[in-house]
Amino acid sequence: MSVESLVAQLKTGLDAPICLTWELTYACNLQCVHCLSSSGQRDPRELTTAEAKRVLDELHDLQVFYINIGGGEPMVRRDFFELVDYSISRDIGVKFSTNGAFIDADKARRLASMDYLDIQISLDGIDAATNDAVRGAGSYDMARRAMEHLATAGFGAFKISVVVTRHNVDQLDGFKALADSYGAQLRVTRLRPSGRGADTWHDLHPTNAQQRQIYEWLLAKGESVLTGDSFFHLNALGEPLPGLNMCGAGRVVCLIDPIGDVYACPFVIHDQFKAGSVRDPGGFAKVWKQSPLFLELREPQSAGACASCGSYDACQGGCMAAKFFTGMPLDGPDPECVGGEGDHVLRSIDTTLAPRPSMDHSKPTTVRLGTTRRPVPVAGA
């Protein structure tokens, strides 16, 4: 079976996801301008520890090999270590994304002592000015301090996770050098107009010339840099990048959000892409196997306006979330289509009519005494 036929098979869905993202909380000590989940404040409906463990039991039964834990800042949850320990005890490996605020020397030693645990520290600039412009004041030092603690504790190869923007694309070599200096692994992913990113994407997303720059850099680095297969829209430029050339939403990946809602992927927190809830009768397994949304995504998709383009087989029409939150038709080009078709569409539509994310947990910009929910304390930040 060729890779192409394997991809064709995967598009019809798997018995359980390969790669499941679970945002544990919407609470976050930071307020990144591109946060894909519009995180900030805890949602009072957040899954309890007992509910979260029941989900892990289900994932164990489905033989989900590992989960990607995120947020919000997952380490804000008081039961963070309890849930990670429980997951690993149920043979579900954990990779979690963090801004590093809560990784002090003690926590670093505890993390270093655990098997089947991977850590991704988010960093969006190789210097404080570039990083903090996106992730907030002090966040660069926070991340670097966490990396130092992990290195000192002998954690091994943690990951440095970068969202590529117009402003850090020239720093890719610098990120790689930084990762190498820690014996860490670099992971770069694509900026999506999701969450608060819907408001900042137009200013942050790489230009068309930068798209080619990213493509050539990734091609040269091969499999030494992780990408979450997020740049497959660039394959229209020529030789395909390593990885699966397909959108995995609802087919091989999905998202469980902090309140247990299941979405097709981490970048589409919107009612149109909500498949159900782990709190529904039948739990996560029933949502994965039977939700009408996921069954529809596993049907052959129309190439639509891209059908006549010779590059469609290479780029697959790009990212569903990127199209959706820029107000573009789902069966048309990606907004960052390297053939320039996305630009044409973007210029012809009213982008202010684009759908808005269904939930916003951003912290209020002004404190209205007595009317706002109190944010989760972030002691130690």
Partner 1 sequence: MLDEALELHPQVALRPEPFGALAYHYGNRRLVFLKHRDVVAVAQRLADHPSLSATLSACDIAPSRWPSFERAFASLKSSDVVRERESSVTSVTSVTSETNETSAA
Whole-number minimum distance, CB 358 to partner 1, in Å? 26
Interface with partner 1 includes 312 (CB under 8 A)? Answer: no
Residue 244 C-beta: closest distance to partner 1, Å: 6
Q: Does residue 240 touch partner 1 according to CB under 8 A?
A: no
Amino acid at 324: F
What's the sign of the alpha-carbon dihedral 83, 85, 90, 96?
A: positive
- 26 versus 155: smaller Cβ distance to partner 1: 155
Helical spans, DSSP H, in 63-207: 80-89, 105-112, 128-135, 139-152, 172-182, 197-204
Residue appearing with tokens 């990083």: 131
Residues between 158 and 197 with contacts to partner 1, criterion CB under 8 A: 185, 187
Q: How far apart are CA 317 and CA 332, in angstroms?
A: 7
Q: Using CB under 8 A, which of the segments 16-24, 73-81, 349-357, 369-377 binds partner 1?
A: 16-24
Shortest separation between residue 57's beta carbon and partner 1, angstroms: 16
Q: What is the Cα–Cα distance from 234 to 186, expressed in whole angstroms?
A: 19
Query: What would you report as the CA-atom Rg of the chain, rounded to the nearest whole angstrom?
Result: 20
Q: According to the binding rule CB under 8 A, does residue 315 interact with partner 1?
A: no
Contact 355, 272 (CB under 8 A): yes
Nearer to partner 1, 48 or 63 (CB): 63
Per rule CB under 8 A, count of chain residues that contact partner 1: 33
Stretch near partner 1 under the rule CB under 8 A, chosen from 32-40, 104-112, 173-181, 248-256: 248-256
Pairing of strands 117-122, 93-98: parallel
Candidate residues 138, 174, 243, 355; the one interacting with partner 1 per rule CB under 8 A: 243
Can residue 229 be called a binding residue for partner 1 (CB under 8 A)?
yes
Written as six digits, the tokens of 50 are 């007992």
16 binds partner 1 (CB under 8 A): yes
Give the nearer residue to partner 1 in terms of CB position, either 179 or 345: 179
Closest approach, Cβ 60 to partner 1, in A, equals 11
Closest approach, Cβ 249 to partner 1, in A, equals 12
Is 242 a binder of partner 1 (CB under 8 A)? Answer: yes
Angle at CA of residue 251, ends 349 and 188, nearest 5°: 70
User: Taking the complex as a whole, how short is the minimal distance between the CB of residue 252 and partner 1, in angstroms?
Assistant: 7
Burial of residue 220, with CB atoms counted within 10 A of its CB: 0-12 exposed, 13-18 middle, 19 or more buried: exposed
Q: What is the rounded distance in angstroms from the CA atom of residue 183 to the CA atom of residue 151?
A: 9
| One of 128, 151, 244, 285 touching partner 1 (CB under 8 A) | 244
Q: Sort strands 159-164 and 117-122 into parallel, antiparallel or unpaired.
A: parallel
Q: How far is the CB of 297 from partner 1 (least distance, A)?
A: 16
Grouping H, G, I as helix, E, B as strand and the rest as coil, residue 93 is: strand
Question: 9 vs 181, which CB is nearer to partner 1?
Answer: 9
CA–CA gap between residue 250 and residue 287 (Å, rounded): 10
Provide the 10 A C-beta neighbour count for residue 365.
6
3-state secondary structure of 98: strand
Contact pattern for partner 1 over residues 77 through 96, marking x by CB under 8 A = --------------x-x-x-
Residue 141 near residue 128, CB atoms below 8 Å: yes
Among 49, 63, 207, 272, contact with partner 1 (rule: CB under 8 A)? 63
Residue 357 DSSP one-character state: P
Min dist CB 300 to partner 1, Å, is: 16
Residues that bind partner 1 (CB under 8 A): 1, 3, 6, 9, 12, 14-16, 18-19, 63, 65-66, 91, 93, 95, 116, 118, 156-157, 185, 187, 223, 226-229, 242-244, 248, 252-253
